[in-house]
């Protein structure tokens, strides 16, 4: 059984339905990417999975039906969400941002902070700085480290490359890849930069106006001519 099983997921905002019945799986230790144009519903999918918005259909996580579980509970169960636009807390220090990341649990927090400081040395240097004073890349690193503080089994990462210089984007993706390979962390990634995403992810879903129009292994998708034309701009 997969770690995350999404079946016939519908979700939206108030009267507007954005997702019209999506099926999606993330296996243990897998890195899956959702590709799609602006407004396709990628962010909405992430929000629906992490329980931030109402949803119908069924969502199963680690064998447990979580369709009616709210966001705060899901953190404790092992779903961490790095929202689009990072969502770091600008007035809290780097340290305090990480502490809030561990809000759903207790014990060993200092050790965890040290652990992620080792992975993100630039955050360590800025530990007492307000998060608002960090660069975009540093904030993205902080957002990821903060999410990892909750000991997730599944990391939802929404467009980490948004607004970052290519070199920094690369760095962020290296880290994600390493976490996936070395720690066995399952990742559900949303990305506009398809070429980059296809290099790190194992499987791909293509989203178009709230519907999954294609899915397959990264290699399959990358070699499908029609898809290449439509989505990869080549």
Partner 1 sequence: MLRIDEGSTRHWLLRLLGFAVITFIVVWVPTQMSSSRIGQFTDAFILMIAAMSLNLVLGFTGQISIGHSAFFGIGGYTAAILIKDHGWSPGYTFYAAAVVAFVVGCVVALPALRIRGIYLALVTLAVAVLFPTLVRWKKLAWLTDGSKGMDSVRYEDVPVWPILGELKGREGRAVFMFWLGLIVVVATYLVCRGIVKSRFGRALVAIRDNETAAAVMGVNLTTTKVLVFGVSAALCALGGVLSTLKSGVITPDGQYVTLLGSIVFLLVMIVGGAGTLWGPIIGGLVYVWLDNTTRDIGTSDSGILGALFGWADQSPATLILGLVLVVIMFAAPYGLVGLAKRLGRKVVVIVPRPVGSSTPR
Ligand X SMILES: Nc1ncnc2c1ncn2[C@@H]1O[C@H](COP(=O)(O)OP(=O)(O)O)[C@@H](O)[C@H]1O
Give the footprint of partner 1 on this chain (CB under 8 A).
Answer: 50, 52, 71-72, 75-76, 80-81, 83, 87-92, 95-96, 99-101, 103-104, 110, 124-125, 127-128, 146, 150
| Alpha-carbon dihedral sign for residues 10, 54, 59, 224 | positive
* Residue 80 near residue 150 (C-beta atoms within 8 A): yes
Answer yes or no whether residue 44 interacts with Mg ion by CB under 5 A: no
Q: Which is nearer to Mg ion, 56 or 84 (CB)?
A: 84
Which of 186, 94, 108, 190 shows the shortest CA–CA distance to 146?
Answer: 94
Q: Which is nearer to partner 1, 31 or 148 (CB)?
A: 148
Answer yes or no whether residue 161 interacts with Mg ion by CB under 5 A: no
Cα–Cα dist 139/7, whole Å: 33
Residue nearest to Mg ion (CB): 43
The nearest distance, CB 14 to partner 1, in angstroms, is: 14
Q: How many CA atoms lie within 13 A of 67 on its CB side?
A: 13
71 binds, among partner 1, Mg ion, ligand X, none (CB under 5 to 8 A by kind): partner 1
Answer yes or no whether residue 15 interacts with ligand X by CB under 6 A: no
Answer yes or no whether residue 36 interacts with ligand X by CB under 6 A: yes
Cα–Cα dist 51/31, whole Å: 20
Q: Return the number of other C-beta atoms located less than 10 Å from residue 220's C-beta.
A: 13
Residue nearest to ligand X (CB): 43
Cα–Cα dist 203/136, whole Å: 28
List interacting residues with ligand X (CB under 6 A). Answer: 13, 16, 18, 36, 38-44
Footprint on this chain of Mg ion (rule: CB under 5 A): 42-43, 84
């Amino acid at each position: 059984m997969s770690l995350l099983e999404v079946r016939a997921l519908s979700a939206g905002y108030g009267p507007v339905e954005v997702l019209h019945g999506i099926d999606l799986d993330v296996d243990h230790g897998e890195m899956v990417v959702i590709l799609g144009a602006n407004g396709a519903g990628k962010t909405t999918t992430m929000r629906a999975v992490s329980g931030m918005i109402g949803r119908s259909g069924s969502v199963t996580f680690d064998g447990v039906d979580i369709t009616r579980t709210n966001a705060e509970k899901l953190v404790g169960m092992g779903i961490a969400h790095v929202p689009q636009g990072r969502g770091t807390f600008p007035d809290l220090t780097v340290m305090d941002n990480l502490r809030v990341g561990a809000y759903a649990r207790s014990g060993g927090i200092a050790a965890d902070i040290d652990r992620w400081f080792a992975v993100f040395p630039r955050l360590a240097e800025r530990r007492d700085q307000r998060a608002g004073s960090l660069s975009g890349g540093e904030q993205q690193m902080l957002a990821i480290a903060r999410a990892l503080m909750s000991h997730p089994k599944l990391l939802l990462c929404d467009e980490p490359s948004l607004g970052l210089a290519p070199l920094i984007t690369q760095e962020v993706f290296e880290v994600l890849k390493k976490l996936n390979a070395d720690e066995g962390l399952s990742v559900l990634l949303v990305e506009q930069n398809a070429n980059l995403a296809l290099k790190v992810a194992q499987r791909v879903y293509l989203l178009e106006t709230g519907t999954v129009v294609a899915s397959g292994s990264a290699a399959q998708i990358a070699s499908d001519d029609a898809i290449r034309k439509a989505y990869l701009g080549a």
